């Protein structure tokens, strides 16, 4: 493509003996040709300059009144960093371009001013755009817009934030038909889908797909350990010594783990061997914002040798000096791994280096699969999410807050947003009805309606309070309710002594999700703030813990992290397992383990499902190996226990890992299968996703958590604003109770639909389970055994460590009742 760069800019490049890279010129050429562009480039490729070159070029040539370019990124920090990186060249070029950021941290006076006196370039987040769009002056503010630059688009499109952003872009395109998009993305599995995502809202111009050169391929290896890789668990403590040695040998090491508790454990482990007092820091989502900022700026300042972090650092500002990335624990997916590796060494011509550290035997296989996948440069990134009705409800209310709207026009605009391209008109009408009056079949709330219809057929908000309420609740990021964790003197958990007052007061250790404390019971020990503590009890917004004597916490609070093993890596793991030819480069202990499995049982096939049954103690076990991730396995476990209950197999509980599922019960499962009283093909048949799923969803705690998020996003219940006193009006209503009432009366209500939609991909991963059940149909291989198999050992070791799920829901109460009767009868 032919490009002509404005002389001022060309001189600036020339003075530094630089010249614009090809992809930067291509983005400029697209802009000059009146097209939008999707630029796919690895980190370090100069994406920021590529994104802004057209803006600089246009403003160097032409004067412009009002807002010219919006830059939208998922992170506040990125907006601030880009502002800095942009201001320097603008100053050096002598251009009169005003650049400003706008985030939640921007003082409200400046935010006010930005609405009537905007800069040329505004750097901001999706939530701020939604807020700006809800003001009556939005059309005037955005009417002058010529460009939108979307950063880290691959990360945004897989979340509800991306859905809200897509709707906002469709809105902006209506207000500014001349506007063109430039989206920046890491390498993804389906670039065409991403291109379509940005092309749909601007149908009046073409959208080019530009790929930058990949740079040097990364060097990825697996940590070779002399110590045994453990059977199960996620602590990776066996590797701490070697990891410390590795940190010593590098300038700056970034150590990624999958969960907060792993980060805590690894951090503690490294400091326990840190004889040289190397500056090693910790970064995860439960640390306070100030603590995180401190770590980040120490990192930028080159003051740190290593940071142990979770996905909180998957994205973010560039740190030039990271020369090694370590992934401790399961890599989960090829694209995820490639992006994490990309956090090291931002020079394109040198390879990024990364080491994988499996924390158990199955993870050895997963790491092997990841190394193969990365060297093949295979992408398995998630597809963009389809639009949720809860997000749409928020957007519709936001539009009404800005100005009365015509439903025809709004619908036409909404379906130009990629996630909503298949939204039907009746669904839209239902969402509109929901926003106005709750959308219930029982028309109870007409008199309280939030939206009213004008005589011209437009929808407007009923009163100004609706807009105020909307602006307090805007956005799709739901903060988990947190509780303070306070250290108190323990009262000792001896048998039967679980009541009595808790000593209150004491030092605050930090904050943790309230939800976690509903999954544990007093006396349970877990790791927090680098030490093992025992849970004593809750009081209002505080959880009380005491120092525990135990060295190992009972509850690993592992909870699996947010991302399941990708379908693609799972396939590769199954392929490695199925064929002994693949075992040659596995560590000896892992290969021996698989050989043993081969001798005493069978190996799971690439396209079948292995089900082993065996007795142990006075119980009977069923272990299967779907490799579909913990969330899908949990759902499978819930549904299978229901079915086993009906087959009189008397199941008692189950435990799920990323790779396997173990169920135990009282009946002899091998016998039931042998005599034909239990059919595995029927047990695992896809129809479990029908009635059984329905019956379970009715009471599922995971479904209720999902519902809570949808209810907040859709505006049905108000967000809890941390730190702000509740006024009388803001009394919160338990989302669980609302779900119970709604599910029983209108299981087809759009909020229940939205919840199901999320559950299918989220906490219940029903979508993945469905794919699995279709894949293994008629391919269930049963292996009855006398005893536990080698492959079953890891998941069996999780029993007692991971939360156990039981269908016998009332058994705890029944037992406590029995105890009372025995006492009454003098038999205690």
Partner 1 sequence: MTVSAVPIQGDAHAIAFSGERFVAQPSGALYWPSRNALLVADLHFEKMSSFARHGQMLPPYDTGMTLNRLTRDVDSTGAQLLIALGDSFHRNEGVGTLQDVDRARLDALTDRLEWIWLSGNHDPAPHKLAGRCLPYLELDGLWLTHEPRRGRPGLVAGHLHPAARVLIGGRSQRRPCFVHDQHLMVMPAYGASTGTLNILSAAFEGLLDRTRLAVAMLGRERVYPVHPGRLVDG
Residues of the shown chain interacting with partner 1 in the complex, contacts defined by CB under 8 A: 434, 437-440, 442, 444-445, 448, 450, 465-466, 469, 496-499, 502, 517-518, 521-523, 537-539, 652-653, 666, 716-718, 729, 733-734, 737-738, 740-742, 744-746, 749, 804, 806, 808-823
Closest separation in Å from C-beta 825 to partner 1: 9
Q: Which is nearer to partner 1, 433 or 571 (CB)?
A: 433
* DSSP character string of 72-125: E-S-HHHHHHHHHHHHHHHHHHT----EEEE-TTS-HHHHHHHHHS--SEEEE-
Closest separation in Å from C-beta 639 to partner 1: 20
Torsional class of 75: left (φ above 0), alpha (ψ -120 to 50), beta (otherwise) = beta
Can you say whether the dihedral through the CA atoms of 524, 256, 356, 238 is positive or negative? negative
Contact call for residues 8 and 95 (beta carbons, < 8 A): yes
Q: Which residues of 168-300 form beta strands (DSSP E)? A: 180-185, 207-211, 219-222, 253-256, 280-283
Q: Which is nearer to partner 1, 94 or 464 (CB)?
A: 464
Neighbour count for residue 441 (Cβ, 10 Å): 9
Closest separation in Å from C-beta 551 to partner 1: 20
Closest separation in Å from C-beta 294 to partner 1: 33
Closest separation in Å from C-beta 710 to partner 1: 14
Q: Which is nearer to partner 1, 251 or 822 (CB)?
A: 822
Three-class SS state of 6 = coil
Cβ-count burial 715-753 (b if 16+ within 10 Å, e if not)? bbbbbeeeeeeeeeeeeeeebeebbeebbeeeeebbbbb
Closest separation in Å from C-beta 746 to partner 1: 7
Closest separation in Å from C-beta 3 to partner 1: 53
Cβ-count burial 772-783 (b if 16+ within 10 Å, e if not)? bbeebeeebbbe
Contact call for residues 333 and 569 (beta carbons, < 8 A): yes
Backbone φ and ψ of 148, nearest 5°: -125, 130
CA distance 780 to 682: 10
CA distance 736 to 759: 15
Q: Closest Cα partner for 709 from 515, 499, 567?
A: 515
Q: Which is nearer to partner 1, 18 or 448 (CB)?
A: 448
Closest separation in Å from C-beta 463 to partner 1: 9
Q: Which is nearer to partner 1, 245 or 815 (CB)?
A: 815
Question: Residue 828: which H helix or E strand, with range?
Answer: none
Closest separation in Å from C-beta 381 to partner 1: 38
Q: Which is nearer to partner 1, 297 or 463 (CB)?
A: 463
Closest separation in Å from C-beta 393 to partner 1: 11
Neighbour count for residue 14 (Cβ, 10 Å): 11
Q: Which is nearer to partner 1, 597 or 700 (CB)?
A: 700
Three-class SS state of 216 = coil
Closest separation in Å from C-beta 734 to partner 1: 5
Closest separation in Å from C-beta 719 to partner 1: 12
Closest separation in Å from C-beta 555 to partner 1: 11
How does strand 459-461 pair with strand 451-453? antiparallel
Q: Which is nearer to partner 1, 145 or 461 (CB)?
A: 461
Q: Which is nearer to partner 1, 288 or 518 (CB)?
A: 518
The DSSP output letter for 719 is: P
Q: Which is nearer to partner 1, 254 or 399 (CB)?
A: 399
CA angle 15, 16, 20 (to 5 degrees): 100
* DSSP character string of 120-147: SEEEE-HHHHHHHHTSTTHHHHHTT--E
Q: Which is nearer to partner 1, 277 or 813 (CB)?
A: 813
Q: Which is nearer to partner 1, 174 or 469 (CB)?
A: 469
- Hey, what are 549's tokens? 């004597």
CA dihedral of residues 278, 282, 283, 288 (deg, nearest 10): -120
Q: Which is nearer to partner 1, 428 or 434 (CB)?
A: 434
Closest separation in Å from C-beta 727 to partner 1: 11
CA distance 258 to 285: 12
Contact call for residues 598 and 580 (beta carbons, < 8 A): yes
CA distance 793 to 77: 44
Q: Which is nearer to partner 1, 25 or 749 (CB)?
A: 749
Contact call for residues 637 and 661 (beta carbons, < 8 A): yes
């Amino acid at each position: 493509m032919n490009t002509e760069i404005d002389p001022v800019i060309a001189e600036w490049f020339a003075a530094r003996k630089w010249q614009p890279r090809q992809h930067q010129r291509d983005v400029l050429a697209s802009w000059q040709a009146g097209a939008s562009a999707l630029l796919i480039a690895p980190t370090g490729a100069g994406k920021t300059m590529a994104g802004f070159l057209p803006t600089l070029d246009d403003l160097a040539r032409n004067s412009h009144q009002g807002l010219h370019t919006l830059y939208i990124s998922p992170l506040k920090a990125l907006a601030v960093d880009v502002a800095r990186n942009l201001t320097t060249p603008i100053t050096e070029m002598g251009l009169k371009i005003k650049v400003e950021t706008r985030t939640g941290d921007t003082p409200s006076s400046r935010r006010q001013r930005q609405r009537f006196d905007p800069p040329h370039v505004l750097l901001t987040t999706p939530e701020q755009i939604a807020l700006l769009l809800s003001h009556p002056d939005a059309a005037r503010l955005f009417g002058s817009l010529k460009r939108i630059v979307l950063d880290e688009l691959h990360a945004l499109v897989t979340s509800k934030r991306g859905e809200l952003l897509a709707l906002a872009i469709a809105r902006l395109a209506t207000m500014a038909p001349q506007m063109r998009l430039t989206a920046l993305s890491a390498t993804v599995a389906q670039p065409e889908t991403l291109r379509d995502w940005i092309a749909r809202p601007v149908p009046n111009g073409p959208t080019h797909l530009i790929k930058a050169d990949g740079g040097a391929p990364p060097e990825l290896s697996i940590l070779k350990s002399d110590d045994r890789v453990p059977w199960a668990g996620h602590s990776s403590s066996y590797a701490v010594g070697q990891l410390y040695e590795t940190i010593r040998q590098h300038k700056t090491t970034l150590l990624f783990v999958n969960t907060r508790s792993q980060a805590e454990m690894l951090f503690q482990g490294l400091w326990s061997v840190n004889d040289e007092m190397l500056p090693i820091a910790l970064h995860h989502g439960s640390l306070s914002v100030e603590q995180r900022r401190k770590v980040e700026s120490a990192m930028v300042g080159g003051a740190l040798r290593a940071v142990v972090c979770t996905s909180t650092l998957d994205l973010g500002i560039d740190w030039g000096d990271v020369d090694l990335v370590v992934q401790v624990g399961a890599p989960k997916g090829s694209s995820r791994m490639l992006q994490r590796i990309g956090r090291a060494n931002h020079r394109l011509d040198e390879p990024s280096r990364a080491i994988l550290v499996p924390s158990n035997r199955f993870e050895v296989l997963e790491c092997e699969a990841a190394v193969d996948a990365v060297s093949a440069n295979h992408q398995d990134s998630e597809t963009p999410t389809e639009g949720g009705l809860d997000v749409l409800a928020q957007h519709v209310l936001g539009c009404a807050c800005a100005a009365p709207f015509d439903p025809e026009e709004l619908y036409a605009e909404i379906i130009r947003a990629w996630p909503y391209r298949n939204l039907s008109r009746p669904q839209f009408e239902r969402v509109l009805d929901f926003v106005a009056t709750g959308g219930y079949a029982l028309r109870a709330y007409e008199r309280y309606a939030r939206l009213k219809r004008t005589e011209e057929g437009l929808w407007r908000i009923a009163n100004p309070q609706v807009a105020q309420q909307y602006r307090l609740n805007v956005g799709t990021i739901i903060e988990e309710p947190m509780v303070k964790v306070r250290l108190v003197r323990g009262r000792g958990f001896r048998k039967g002594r679980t009541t009595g007052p808790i000593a209150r007061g004491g030092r605050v250790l930090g904050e943790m999700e309230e939800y976690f404390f509903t999954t544990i019971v007093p006396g349970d020990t877990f790791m927090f703030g680098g030490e093992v503590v025992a849970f004593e009890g809750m009081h209002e917004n505080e959880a009380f813990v005491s120092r525990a004597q135990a060295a190992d916490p009972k509850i690993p609070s592992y909870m699996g992290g947010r991302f399941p093993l990708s379908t693609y890596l799972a396939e590769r793991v199954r392929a490695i397992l199925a064929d002994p030819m693949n075992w040659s480069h596995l560590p000896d202990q892992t290969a021996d383990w698989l050989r043993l499995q081969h001798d005493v049982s069978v190996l799971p096939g690439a396209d079948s499902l292995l089900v082993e049954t065996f007795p142990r103690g006075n119980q009977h076990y069923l272990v299967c190996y779907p490799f579909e991730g913990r969330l899908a396995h949990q759902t499978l476990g819930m549904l299978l226990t229901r079915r086993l209950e009906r087959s009189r197999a008397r199941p008692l509980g189950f435990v799920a890992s990323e790779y396997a599922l173990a169920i135990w019960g009282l009946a002899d499962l091998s016998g039931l299968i042998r005599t034909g009283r239990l059919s595995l093909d029927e047990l695992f048949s896809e129809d479990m996703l029908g009635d059984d799923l329905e019956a379970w969803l009715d009471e599922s705690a995971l479904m209720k958590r999902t519902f809570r998020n949808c209810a907040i996003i859709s505006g049905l219940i108000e967000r809890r604003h941390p730190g702000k006193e509740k006024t009388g009006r803001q009394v919160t209503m338990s989302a669980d109770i609302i779900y119970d009432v709604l599910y029983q009366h209108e299981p087809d209500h759009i909020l229940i639909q939205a919840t199901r939609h999320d559950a299918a991909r989220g906490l219940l991963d029903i979508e993945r389970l469905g794919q699995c059940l279709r894949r293994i149909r008629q391919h269930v291989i049963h292996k009855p055994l006398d005893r536990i198999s080698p492959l079953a050992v890891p998941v069996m070791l999780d029993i007692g460590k991971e939360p156990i799920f039981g269908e016998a829901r009332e058994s705890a109460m029944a037992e406590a009742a029995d105890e009372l009767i025995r006492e009454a009868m003098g038999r205690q």
